[in-house]
Amino acid sequence: MSAYQAEQVYLNYINGEWAGASTGKQVASINPANPKEVVGYVQASSREDLDRAVAAAKSASRSWRKLSGAARGDVLFKAANALEKRADEVAETMTREMGKTFPEAKGETLRGVAILRYYAGEGMRRIGDVIPSTDSEALMFTTRVPLGVVGVISPWNFPVAIPIWKMAPALIYGNTVVLKPAQEVAVTAAKVVECFAEAGIPAGVLNLICGSGSIIGQGLAEHPDVNGITFTGSNQVGKQVGQAALARGAKYQLEMGGKNPVIVAADADLDLAVDGTISGGLKSTGQKCTATSRVIVMSEVYDAFKAKLLAKVSEISVGDGMESGIWMGPCANEKQLETVLDYIQKGKDEGAKLLIGGGKAAAADATGGFFVQPTVFDEVSPQMAIAREEIFGPVMALIRAHSMEEAIELANDSEFGLSASVYTSSIGSVLSFIQDMDAGLVRINAETAGVELQAPFGGMKQSSSHSREQGQAAIEFFTSIKTVFVKA
Ligand SMILES: NC(=O)C1=CN([C@@H]2O[C@H](COP(=O)(O)OP(=O)(O)OC[C@H]3O[C@@H](n4cnc5c(N)ncnc54)[C@H](O)[C@@H]3O)[C@@H](O)[C@H]2O)C=CC1
Ligand SMILES: O=C(O)CCC(=O)C(=O)O
């Protein structure tokens, strides 16, 4: 049973205590399905508050790194249990704060639980190798040490999974954390942090500080006592964060945009391809960095695929994600709705043919919610803005191709390289796609979105800083290798 309650005040969590911002100011976090509804009030913190959070993390670092991996893992297991118990409440909070439907939010919350358990187990696994020395009397091996204080800057589109897939590996490998969530989902973030507090995480090991990106996010990136920064969000901000970290010699990891293609080959199972395109492109209202936005279809099946796609898109129900029967919720905030509507206008202005959607959805009339129709454009050419720029909304561009080579070339014609998929029954096409597609995640007969927590995740080209998150790959960012040479 969910215990969600609206309009509560949520505090920062610094050095094991819940505290208001020194500014005395709070910001309302609102429901994008009904902007008059206040989900909660979150802190508008200052750099002074940030300094306190970083100082707490720095001081807790000495004892946390000295604990065994198993002891740190125990805290993560307990946090997983606490989150699992509150899954309905946390999922409802997420739906009300950023709009994705309740079943999607519940799935994401349980994914957060699974990520915590996965990294809890990592505390018992190998952290080094023995390497033969040229000196036969010496022992040489590698071990791994934590970075120290890690700043986590997270976005609003996965309010539970993304902070957890950054914090859990940071913590298990012995780092302490300062989390700055997107202000739109700070209530959900506070509830996740409450689960860690309930798990008995020592004071200062995990700190939550809410505030604007330009003050707290930028402050974390620039802070001399923050040793590593992990960021997911826009390319523009990601680059700023990376530059600030680089300027002071801190380690950084950036996960940014995508313009992910799906290729539908002439020998594809068209029903499967339609389902995967819709799920990949429109779930979460298209607000995933892995969302399908370019649909490259072979000319032989173009019309048949288009007809099936439109039939299914026309059945999509748009509305409040807490209502049963609703398939697609609102955009997460007003700015995002405006961005999506602007891109739709650009598509029309540049000569693409609007097949379906193209404006605010009817659900917006009743509440003023940020609802947009699922939208598909036809006759899109690769130079158009809707084929090149990340929209982060439920807008898909159909592009025609005449051969697999041309399809892969079109798919690669992007500054991004996060994820890509192909629907085909030909092993030859599968192999060419795996080999020639420039993306960090390539998927065969499966949608572009949806990552597995135990596998590396990250992009090529402008999609990331070329590092990988999740799975065992996370150890590369959250630790430094120490090579040890021992001679009696
Ligand atoms: N890769 C992804 O998963 C995401 C991509 N985006 C993309 O970014 C676009 C804009 O969305 P926004 O929410 O405005 O993204 P954003 O990049 O501004 O926000 C991401 C995080 O960075 C923080 N931030 C903002 N300015 C900062 C600064 N100067 N220094 C440090 N941190 C800062 C934000 O508070 C938030 O926590 C979207 O339309 C979408 O294209 C947004 C969210 C997630
Ligand atoms: O597709 C997914 O499950 C993950 C997407 C993601 O990481 C993102 O949108 O930031």
The answer to whether residue 215 is domain-embedded is: yes
Please tell me the pTM assigned to this model.
0.98
The answer to whether residue 3 is domain-embedded is: no
49 shares a domain with 156: yes
Among 92, 104, 184, 255, the active-site one is 255
- Closest ligand 1 atom to the C-alpha of 183? 35
Rounded distance from Cα 415 to ligand 1 centre (Å)? 18
Q: What interface predicted TM-score (ipTM) does this complex get?
A: 0.97
pLDDT in tens, 233-276: 999 999 999 999 999 999 999 999 999 999 999 999 999 999 99
Going by C-alpha positions, the residue among 113, 94, 72 that lies closest to residue 200 is: 72
pLDDT of residue 218: 98
pLDDT of residue 165: 98
pLDDT in tens, 281-330: 999 999 999 999 999 999 999 999 999 999 999 999 999 999 999 999 99
CATH of the domain at 351: 3.40.309.10
- Number of CB atoms found within 10 A of residue 488's CB: 5
116 shares a domain with 96: yes
Question: Which residue stretches of 383-467 are H helix?
Answer: 385-388, 404-412, 427-436
103 contacts 242 by C-beta, under 8 angstroms:
no
Residue 109 Cβ inside 6 Å of ligand 2? The answer reads no
Helices 87-98 & 102-122 angle (0-180, nearest 10): 120
Band (3; pLDDT cuts 50, 70, 90): confident
The answer to whether residue 1 is domain-embedded is: no
The answer to whether residue 314 is domain-embedded is: yes
Can you tell me whether residue 46 is helix, strand or coil?
A: coil
400 contacts 418 by C-beta, under 8 angstroms:
no
Q: Which ligand is nearest to the CA of 100?
A: 2
Backbone dihedral angles phi then psi of residue 184, each to the nearest 5 degrees: -60, -25
Cα–Cα distance between 301 and 464 in angstroms, integer?
Answer: 34
Among 98, 180, 230, 234, residue to substitute to test ligand 1 (most atoms within 8 Å of Cβ): 234
23 contacts 45 by C-beta, under 8 angstroms:
yes
How many structural domains compose the chain? 2
pLDDT in tens, 361-408: 999 999 999 999 999 999 999 999 999 999 999 999 999 999 999 999
Q: Which ligand is nearest to the CA of 390?
A: 1
36 shares a domain with 165: yes
300 shares a domain with 220: no
385 shares a domain with 416: yes
Task: Using DSSP bridges, classify how beta strands 416-417 and 460-461 pair: parallel, antiparallel or unpaired.
Answer: antiparallel
The answer to whether residue 89 is domain-embedded is: yes
pLDDT of residue 277: 98
- Judged against a pLDDT cut of 90, whether residue 95 lies above it is answered with yes
The answer to whether residue 2 is domain-embedded is: no
pLDDT of residue 381: 97
48 shares a domain with 108: yes
Q: Which ligand is nearest to the CA of 290?
A: 2
Nearest CA to ligand 2 atom 3: 450
Which residues, in sequence order, are bridge partners of residue 485? 140
pLDDT in tens, 117-169: 999 999 999 999 999 999 999 999 999 999 999 999 999 999 999 999 999 99
449 contacts 292 by C-beta, under 8 angstroms:
yes
pLDDT in tens, 121-131: 999 999 999 99
- Judged against a pLDDT cut of 60, whether residue 462 lies above it is answered with yes
- Closest ligand 2 atom to the C-alpha of 287? 9
389 is catalytic: no
Nearest CA to ligand 2 atom 2: 450
Cα–Cα distance between 79 and 193 in angstroms, integer?
Answer: 9
211 shares a domain with 166: yes
Residue 157 Cβ inside 6 Å of ligand 2? The answer reads yes
194 shares a domain with 56: yes
Nearest CA to ligand 1 atom 5: 233
Cα–Cα distance between 129 and 249 in angstroms, integer?
Answer: 27
Among 104, 108, 162, residue to substitute to test ligand 2 (most atoms within 8 Å of Cβ): 162
Rounded distance from Cα 209 to ligand 1 centre (Å)? 16
Q: Please, what is the average pLDDT of the chain?
A: 98
pLDDT in tens, 181-199: 999 999 999 999 999 999 9
pLDDT in tens, 30-82: 999 999 999 999 999 999 999 999 999 999 999 999 999 999 999 999 999 99
pLDDT in tens, 326-345: 999 999 999 999 999 999 99
Band (2; pLDDT cuts 50, 70, 90): confident
**Using a 6 Å CB cutoff, which residues line ligand 1?**
153-157, 180, 182, 213-214, 217-218, 221, 232-234, 237, 240-241, 255-257, 289, 336, 339, 390, 392
- Judged against a pLDDT cut of 80, whether residue 230 lies above it is answered with yes
Q: What is the mean pLDDT of residues 72-97?
A: 98
pLDDT in tens, 431-457: 999 999 999 999 999 999 999 999 999
Range of the domain at 432: 260-452
The answer to whether residue 459 is domain-embedded is: no
Cα–Cα distance between 13 and 207 in angstroms, integer?
Answer: 5
Among 42, 98, 153, 184, residue to substitute to test ligand 1 (most atoms within 8 Å of Cβ): 153
Residue 287 Cβ inside 6 Å of ligand 2? The answer reads no
